[in-house]
A and B are shown apart, each in its own frame.
Chain A
Amino acid sequence: DSGVTQTPKHLITATGQRVTLRCSPRSGDLSVYWYQQSLDQGLQFLIQYYNGEERAKGNILERFSAQQFPDLHSELNLSSLELGDSALYFCASSVEGGTRLRSDKNIQYFGAGTRLSVL
């Protein structure tokens, strides 16, 4: 158990709908990252938050948004869902935001993921 909690584990919805995925980081971790992994695809970085503020953006669609709350949990909102959005969505957390030089505090620990199926 990595200590990162993601809910729900599975989500089945229809095209055009909106869903919210939730992530609670490990105790003491300030940074949260969201990744998408489609079938037979690698992990694609979506977005990072550090202590409540957006730190870095990757290949995140405009239909997707995220935020990190004062208690450091994070939510990823996916709207106007399309069939191609079906994927595993992982959240990861680390103590620091990845910029501290040569530090184990950059290590990211992953949650079990949310499997999203858009029908």
Chain B
Amino acid sequence: GQNIDQPTEMTATEGAIVQINCTYQTSGFNGLFWYQQHAGEAPTFLSYNVLDGLEEKGRFSSFLSRSKGYSYLLLKELQMKDSASYLCAVNDYKLSFGAGTTVTVRA
């Protein structure tokens, strides 16, 4: 089975940096995804890590350590529009999602 853990909530100030951790235990692994979801809307793809290391995409970066079953999503220069739920998902030949981390950005 799948076990994907991420914090429930995080709060940060506009312009700051926030790091969302995700740990996973899965029977197989074919990549880890991060999605952003605003309330009542569709998840939108942010990043995809397959190999260990850091992937950077503008203000968002994602890191993966397969040996530790660990990933994080780093959000830099936070903006109010970044207030959303961030979902960690592991591809074990089907996608299993964590419960999501709600990030609130305060002015």
Partner-B contacts on A (CB < 8 A): 2, 33, 41-43, 45, 48, 55-56, 58, 88, 90, 98-99, 101-102, 104, 106-113, 115
**Contact status of A98 and B91, CB under 8 A, knowing A42-B97, A107-B33:** yes
- The reply to whether B100 and A90 contact each other, CB–CB distance below 8 Å, is no
Please name 28 pairs of A and B residues whose Cβ atoms are closer than 8 Å in the assembled complex, sorted by A.
A33-B94, A42-B97, A42-B98, A42-B99, A42-B100, A43-B89, A45-B95, A45-B96, A45-B97, A48-B94, A55-B94, A56-B94, A58-B94, A88-B40, A90-B42, A98-B91, A101-B50, A102-B31, A102-B50, A102-B51, A107-B33, A107-B45, A109-B45, A110-B35, A110-B43, A111-B42, A113-B41, A113-B42
Q: Which residues between 54 and 107 of chain B lie within 8 Å of chain A, taking CB atoms?
A: 87, 89, 91, 93-100
Contact of A98 among B30, B40, B99 (CB under 8 A): B30
The answer to whether B13 has its CB under 8 Å from any CB of chain A is no
A90's nearest neighbour on chain B, judged by CB, is B42
The answer to whether B25 has its CB under 8 Å from any CB of chain A is no
In the complex, besides A88-B40, A98-B95, A108-B45, 14 extra interface pairs with C-beta distance below 8 angstroms are A2-B44, A33-B95, A42-B99, A43-B43, A43-B97, A56-B93, A98-B94, A102-B51, A106-B31, A108-B33, A110-B42, A113-B41, A113-B42, A115-B40
Cβ of A92 to closest chain B Cβ, rounded Å? 8
Chain B residues in 8 Å Cβ range of A58: 94
- The reply to whether B87 and A99 contact each other, CB–CB distance below 8 Å, is no
Chain B residues in 8 Å Cβ range of A55: 94
Cβ of A55 to closest chain B Cβ, rounded Å? 8
A97's nearest neighbour on chain B, judged by CB, is B93
- The reply to whether B93 and A99 contact each other, CB–CB distance below 8 Å, is yes
Minimum-distance CB pairs A-B, first 7: A110-B42, A42-B99, A102-B50, A43-B97, A56-B94, A110-B43, A112-B42
Report the Cα distance A108→B33, complex, angstroms. 9
A4's nearest neighbour on chain B, judged by CB, is B42
